[in-house]
Amino acid sequence: MNIIVIGNGFDIAHNLPTKYTDFLEFVKVIRYILNTKNMNDIDWGKTNPQIKRIVTDDTGNIRNNLFSKEKVWKNLLDYNFWIEYFLQNDMHGKENWIDFESEISDVIQSLHRDMHGNEMEFNIYDDIPSVLSNEFLDCYVNDQNMEICKDIKEKLYDDLNKLIKALEIYLFQYVDKIECKKISPDIEEIINASNEEKENKVLCFNYTNTIEKLYTNNCEIDIDYIHGKVNNNYEIEKNNMVLGIDEFLSLEQQNKNIEFVEFKKFYQRIYKETGCKYKTWVDRIKEEYLLYTKAKMKEVERNVTDIQSMINSIIDSTIMSKKSRKHNLYIYGHSLDITDGDILRDLILNNNVNTIIFYHNKESMGKQIANLVRVIGEDELIKRTGGNTKTIEFRLQRPMIEDENFKTNTGKKDSL
């Protein structure tokens, strides 16, 4: 089985503007156009050139243009706490969605501390929380709709869902219209491998279906959109995209203090029913290795006549266990951040799984190594990157190549 894990770096490698900063630049432009009704003298800022072209062309569509969706956009963007927060907040040097989620987590944790205090006795009807960041307070004070402290959570959650819906529309109506002219030879080679014994599985942390459009025309592939997938609709209730935070409470508090559970990824995965196909893949991997181990131990027991031969047999079976590895894990465009640590551990920490981690450059490789230490621990990382116990390899991404289907105008790609 080949399992390909892809993160946002995969879309970025295809020149798609899917960084959160790309989305915010788009939001600034959309708000200006709708508020001024003016397509001239627009400050496009750092808006992606292809998005700029699509926005400009879109206004010429009489039936279905930007202005025809004005009410939708204004409902999603106007007086949205998170939009205001991120537009005001200095995120210099940060461009990954994990940075975005980290900022959300900081706000939620700050509010949680203020509500509970050290002794967990904070009254939600008391004054405005005092520990919140300056950016939060600025947005809070400017919002006349929040009169009492208990309203904060409801507004934050409602506005987060609106932000996620705005992101979905951006990805479907704009990013999906960008033609990808190049593809990754690494991913193409894995998916199109001639070894029929290997099933192809994809664990996609992205909301887009880039891998479906570009790589799965001639082969069957099972894809798990663990964080949901964009859909063509404007209803907030039909969105299944996960954008939240990780658990920040201690084990003792997790089951007691659930005020902000709606913001957490595990809750959103369950509530939005994104599914967890990868769990069945992991169960199969573990079961196969368990059966192999039991078979080897029975063989040892049959052949053992003394202590020394038992030791030798155990050593031999450990070395031979490398032959049981039937599964390959390929990680492409993922930072290996601790936010997805539970999933990564499930996949990587198997002795019958060889893991290939693609990196963009040495700097990104260094960050991936540092993140992997937090995910699986220093000892596991050392053990799995050398010697007879090696199961992890870092590999430099090959340069993107011309997409022959695009080049020859054959193999038409499906839209989202």
One DSSP character per residue, 358-397 reads EESSHHHHHHHHHHHHHHH-HHHHHHHTSGGG--EEEEEP
In the prediction, which pLDDT does 121 show? 42
- Closest by CA position to 400, among listed 221, 215, 222, 216: 215
Beta strand pairing call for 401-402 and 182-183: antiparallel
C-alpha dist (Å) from residue 75 to 72, 97, 138, 184: 5, 23, 21, 39
C-alpha dist (Å) from residue 62 to 68, 69, 369: 9, 12, 51
Annotate 169-194 with b (16+ C-beta within 10 A) or e (fewer). bbbbbbbbebebebbbebbbebbeee
The three state secondary structure string of 84-113 is HHHHHCCCCCCCCHHHHHHHHHHHHHHHHH
Residue 393, strand partner residues: 356
Residue 229 to residue 241: CA distance in whole angstroms: 6
Max Cα distance, the chain (Å): 88
Residue 330 to residue 336: CA distance in whole angstroms: 12
Residue 289 to residue 353: CA distance in whole angstroms: 10
C-alpha dist (Å) from residue 140 to 5, 151, 380: 39, 11, 45
Rounded to 5°, angle at Cα 73 from 70 and 74 = 80
In the prediction, which pLDDT does 111 show? 81
Q: Are 176 and 197 in contact (CB under 8 A)?
A: no
Q: Are 331 and 356 in contact (CB under 8 A)?
A: yes
Q: Are 51 and 17 in contact (CB under 8 A)?
A: yes
In the prediction, which pLDDT does 360 show? 94
Q: pTM for the full model?
A: 0.84
Positions of the chain with pLDDT lower than 50, given as ranges: 118-133, 141, 144-148, 319-320, 409-415
